[in-house]
Every structure is written in C-alpha cells, then in structure tokens.
Chain A
Amino acid sequence: MLDFLQQLVSGLALGCIYGLIALGFVLIYKATEVINFAQGDLMMLGGFVAYTYITILGLNYWLGFLFAVLTMGLVGMTIERFVVRPILGYPLFSIIMVTIGLGFLLRSLAGMIWGTDDLKIEAPFSEGVLRIGDLVLAYDKLSVIVVTVILIAVLYLFFNRTRLGTAMRATSENMLAAYYMGIPVKRVVSLVWAISAMVAGVAGVLLAPITFVHSNVGLALGLKAFPAAVLGGFGSIPGALVGGLIIGVVETLAGFYLPQGWKDVAPYIILLLVLLLRPEGLFGALGRKKV
C-alpha cells in the first residue's frame, strides 16, 4: 500500500509535467488549429535558459525562474512571427511538418550551445522531504503538483473571465469572424504562442531539479504529452491536466507492477484505445459534421 501511494505521488508529479506540455498543445490548437510538435523542445529550452540564469549567471532561483519564463514568452512570439504566421491557413500537414522541423532545430541548437552533458539546477527546496506517517514526499515533486494546479486555475480564469481571454476563445472559434468583430487576430495568436511557450518554460524549470536538463528530454516527454492531450479532449484546459495526470499515473504504475517494456508503451495503448472508443476525449466537445 505504501509503495502504491509512493508511486502514485511520483506518477502525479510526472503527470503534471505531461499536463503542462499538453496544456501548451491545447492552447495553440484552440487558437490556431496548429499542433506544435516542438512543445516538448520548448520545455527543454526553458530548462536550459533557467540553467543559464541560475547556475551560470548566479541569479536567485526565483528571479531566474521568472526571467526564464519571460524569455520563453519572447521565444514563443518570435517563433510565431517568423515561422508560423507565414504558413497560417495552409494545409495542416505542412504546418505540422514545420513544427517538427523546429523541434529538430531547437534540440540540435541546444545541444550545440549547452553541450550534451546532463545539467542540474539546484532549487532551494530540492533536498527537503515531507513525511506523512511512513510516506516520504520530496518537495521538488510536490512543487510540480502545486505549481501546476495554480497555473491551470489561473489560465482557466484568464480564458473565461478576462477580455483578452474571451478574445482568444473567439479567435479559436472562428478566426475570420473574430477579425470582423475587431479582434486583432495576429496579436492574439502571437500572445497565445507566448503563453504556451511560457507554460512550457514553467514545466522545464520545474522538471529541472527532478530529472536532468538534457537536449533530448523534450522529445520523450513531448511525445508522451500527446496521449494526455488526446485523452483530455484536445481543446479543453482542465482536460489537459486530467489527461496528463492519468497518463503519468498509469505510466508510473505500469513501470512498477508490469514487466519491463510496458511502461513506455502504456500511454500509447491508452491513446489508441481512446481514439478508437471515444475520439472526442474525456472533456472534448468534438461535434461531428454529418453529410
């Protein structure tokens, strides 16, 4: 039982990371119907940027965290401006290929700039543990869970309560209609990319004390965030988190209880099952057009 709880908590922490990456997919998908295959690599980049600020430049952890997230916002806007905007409106497949290419590019550049060694960021809380009875919870894993829940709540309120959030939702419903209503669609899309890159940055910084910062970390985690996003219904913000949690927990438990090999495949098996049985996901509102 204790083992189970222990695994459950690590699964939840991992699931939160998946959830954050999936959230990035969902935001961009909602606004522009583009899937950003480089989302995991943006997360990786966030980790490296934070490493630069905190370990190389010697900034305070929280200040470095803040700067890293802001830098990632800029990166997101730059990518949107120079890579995504010129091909917006073209077939989906070309856009997806561009983001795949971008992922390659970011991964290689990160490897060239920061090297291929495993880097580690020391967080002020990374050594501490919380003991509840016999259960030992590391603070760095708890921090992931807490920050994710706060972030999701803030974003949920932002999209449902603020003027800008409403504009973003309108853009995601119908770009042309939103434009006619006076919404500056280009700026909104640019901001959506910024937010999504910032979320990826947060995930990257949170992940850094738990695993190492390495240029390939984004690919593996980014691909496993797809099942999370699909499970949550690819278009729902709470769905991304719930999907991420389920995938994270299932993966961790499969690694603990099932024979070797199941751990890596379990998320994809879930994904295929969801696509076969309920393609709209848990929270999805995927209407189907009838001919």
Chain B
Amino acid sequence: MRFIFKTDYEQDIKLFQHGGAWWSYGLLFAVLAVAPYLIGSYLQSQLVFVFIYAIVGVALMILVGFTGQGSIGHAAFLAIGAYTAAFLQARGYPFEVYFPVAGILTGVVGAIVGIPALRLHGIYLLIATISFAFIVEEVLARWESVTHGNEGMRVRAVEFFGQTVSRDSNSFYFLCLGILVLVIIGTLNLMRSPTGRAFIAIRDSETAAKSMGIDLAKYKVRSFAISAAITGLAGTLYAHKMSFISPEMFTLLLSIEFIMVIIIGGAFGLHGAILGAIFIVMVDPLITMLKDDLPGMVASLSRGFGVGEEGARAVQDRLYAIFSAPGLKGAIYGLIIIMFVLFEPMGLYGRWLKIKLYFQLFPLYKKATFRRQKTYVKSERNR
C-alpha cells in the first residue's frame, strides 16, 4: 500500500499526488492518441460523443458535485452554445472566433440563471432551472430570424485557422480530445484555487462558509457561470458533430442524460464525469444490440438445452417483441437511475475506489468505510 507523506502545503495541492499517476495517465493518453487509427469509424465517432458528454459532465460536476447546487437545465446551455456557433458560422466567422464567444455568451446567461440561486435551495433551484430550459427551448423554436425555428440549422465543418476539419475526421477527434483535456486541467486548477475551495465549502455547509467570510452570492453565480460556459463550449462541438441542430434536440431528456452522467459516474470527482459519459454514450448501442442479437442468442441457447425448434422460435419472437416495444429506452434509463442511486450511490468511480481499497487493505476491508450518513432532521422550511 502506498502512503503519501505530506510535508508542506504545496504538496497538498499538486495536480498529481504521486509519481505513479504520471504513468497511468500517460498510458491512457497514449492509448487515446493512437486509438482513432486502430478502431473503426463508428467507435471513433462514439468516442467523440464520449468527449463531448464528458465536457458537459465536468461542467455539471463543478456545479453539482463541487458547489452542491442543482441543475436540470443544462441542455439549454448546450443549445445556446450550439446556436451561437451555428449563427456566427453562418455569418462567416471562423471557429477560433465563435468558440470562445459561445463560451462567454453561455457563461453570461449562466450567471443570470445563477442569480435566483442565491435565494433558492434544493428543489426550488431545480424547478427554476427546468423552467429556464423550457423557456430557452420555446425561444429557439419561435425566434425564427436567428434560429430558423423548428426547421433547424445546418452547421458546416469546422474552419480552424484556415484548415477545414470535417466532423468525421481524426482531426475533429483530436480537437475534441484536446478541448476535453484543457477543460479537465482548467477545472483541476480551478478546484485548487481559492474559488474552488470556496465552492467546496459552500457544498459542505452554506452556513459555515458564510461565517468564514465567503460571499455566497458571488461564488454561487460564479459556479453557475463557469459551468454554463464550459457547457456552451461543448455545445459548439456538439453542433459540429451533429452537423444539424433543431430545438427538439435540446429537451428535458438531454438535461436528464447529463445528470445521469454524473450520477452514474459518481458525483464527487472528475473521474466520475468521464466514466459516466462513457456509460451513457454506450447505453444506446447496447440497447440496439439487445434488440437485434439477444433474441437469437437466447433462442440458440434454448436449442442447446434441448428445447425443440418450435419452442426456440417462439422464445425468439417473444423476446424480440419485448425488446422492440416502444419506450424500452425510457424504461432502461429509469431502471439505471433507480438502481444506481439505490445500490451504487457513489457511482462507477466509487465502485473503482472500493475495489482498489479492497486490494490495498486486503484482508481488512470493511463495507462501513463507504457508508453514507443519513440525516433525518433536515427541514428546508426552517432554513
């Protein structure tokens, strides 16, 4: 087992706590660098979506995981970023201009949304962000001179310093990967700065944070603005990857998918955002596989167990009917959310930490290490 012996404060805020991390992240980076040349175009495209979802996941992690606020309206920020990109691109601006502009604009909108957060707790904030998302969706559908309404907008390939980067090319993959890495490094640096520690203080106890002299208003608005700005950046990439955007792409379902990213990954560290993004992006192909292949597999399996041809065919048809029922995706999403919150509340990253600790402490691991404390006497009404 590795003991990290800290002797001064500088050591406590190092990006990598120990030398081994350089090796593991270096290896991961090397794999990601050669991956697009080895895997097919389908998987490469899925990885790009993982990167985009991970950027949004990091943004939400800053807001939800680190500052303790809530938002079920991040699809709206994504939409604002995407539409800013599409609008400015149609006016002839290159990527290096509208990419930061989209981030700044979304950040400003996020700050405005954050202002009510000063007075709102918990559910009120969630409801406010949902309403905001609905209003944005409606505005996008009605403001036809800018957004072309429900017809949607085409988004051309990225023009990056004179180079054309098409959405399926490896260059676009590296662009997304690069932005994701920059966002992660930026977030890590943010979280070890006074601002980041103020966020964490607010999450742990607003009262305590306020007594320590943290200006709640300033930091909550800042958290919203940063989170929204990063989501806006992801929005431009999303617009380019989809190459077509319309208001019905940015619905409540997308916001909930983003929340699922951090719930599934584990809402307490950046690793969670990445793992959650991988999981969410891979759910769709898995469901398709379930629909297409599983009935046949089960049928051949039941043939192997001596069920007659008739029976096997009946099993196959029945399973096929079940898996191609409309709304299967919704049911699976619902089940995933419920199961994760009930049985794996720390998410995939939490599971990884548990497994790691199990082997580090080998015979001495006990479950209670990760048990969460329950609090029964919390009344928001008396806050």
Contact = CB atoms under 8 A, between A and B. Distances in A.
Interface in A63-110: 83, 86-90, 92-98, 100-109
B378 A116 contact: no
A271 B331 contact: no
B331 A105 contact: yes
Contact of B211 (A89, A104, A291): A291
A114 B375 CA distance: 40
A135 interface: no
B249 interface: no
B382 A287 contact: yes
A173 B122 CA distance: 18
Contacts of A227: 131
Given A104-B334, A275-B124, A279-B124, A97 B327 contact: no
Report whether over half of chain A's contact residues are helix, strand or loop; otherwise say mixed.
helix
B345 A105 contact: no
B34 interface: no
Contacts of A88: 374, 376
Contacts of A29: 123
Interface in A206-227: 215, 223, 226-227
A265 B338 contact: no
Contacts of B342: 83, 86-87, 98
Interface string A171-186: 0011111000000000
B320 interface: no
A289 interface: yes
A288 B383 contact: yes
A93 to B, nearest CB: 6
A175 B376 CA distance: 7
Contact of A97 (B330, B335, B337): B337
Contact of A90 (B210, B325, B345): B345
Given A108-B327, A265-B134, A174 B379 contact: yes
Given A105-B331, A116-B326, A272 B376 contact: no
A215 B327 contact: yes
A253 B275 CA distance: 47
A268 interface: yes
Contact of B64 (A93, A95, A176): A93
Contacts of B330: 104-105, 107-108, 111
B280 to A, nearest CB: 14
Contacts of A100: 256, 337
Interface stretch (B135-143, B179-187, B304-312): B135-143
Interface residues of A, number: 58
Nearest to B256: A100
A268 B259 contact: no
Given A101-B336, A286-B381, A226 B374 contact: no
A200 interface: no
Contact of A111 (B134, B141, B327, B379): B327
A112 interface: yes
Nearest to A174: B377
A104 B377 contact: no
A102 to B, nearest CB: 6
A112 to B, nearest CB: 5
Nearest to A224: B134
Contacts of A287: 381-383
B357 interface: no
Contacts of B211: 291
Given A87-B342, A89-B376, A279-B119, A103 B381 contact: no
Interface in B100-143: 116, 119-120, 122-124, 126-128, 130-132, 134-135, 138, 141-142
Interface string B331-362: 10111111001100100000000000000000
Best-surrounded residue of A35, A100, A116, A265 (most CB of chain B within 10 A): A100
B383 A289 contact: yes
B207 to A, nearest CB: 5
Nearest to B321: A112
Contacts of B341: 87, 94-95, 97-98, 101
Interface string B59-96: 00000100000100000000000000000000000000
Interface string B207-227: 100110000000000000000
A108 B331 contact: yes
A92 B203 CA distance: 13
A150 interface: no
A101 B127 CA distance: 16
A48 to B, nearest CB: 14
A38 to B, nearest CB: 9
Given A33-B379, A94-B345, A116-B326, A104 B131 contact: no
B372 interface: yes
Given A223-B252, A291-B210, 17 more contacts: A96-B70, A98-B338, A101-B337, A101-B338, A104-B333, A105-B338, A108-B328, A111-B330, A112-B325, A112-B327, A116-B326, A226-B130, A271-B128, A276-B119, A288-B383, A291-B207, A291-B211
Interface of A: 29, 33, 35, 83, 86-90, 92-98, 100-109, 111-112, 116, 173-177, 215, 223, 226-227, 230, 234-235, 260-261, 264-265, 268-269, 271-272, 275-276, 279, 285-289, 291
28 contacts: A88-B376, A89-B375, A92-B123, A93-B64, A93-B122, A94-B263, A95-B341, A96-B126, A97-B263, A101-B336, A104-B333, A105-B338, A107-B327, A107-B330, A108-B327, A112-B331, A176-B377, A223-B134, A226-B127, A234-B124, A235-B381, A261-B141, A265-B138, A269-B135, A272-B128, A275-B120, A286-B381, A287-B381
Closest 10 CB pairs of A and B: A101-B337, A104-B334, A105-B334, A89-B374, A108-B331, A108-B327, A268-B131, A108-B330, A111-B327, A101-B334
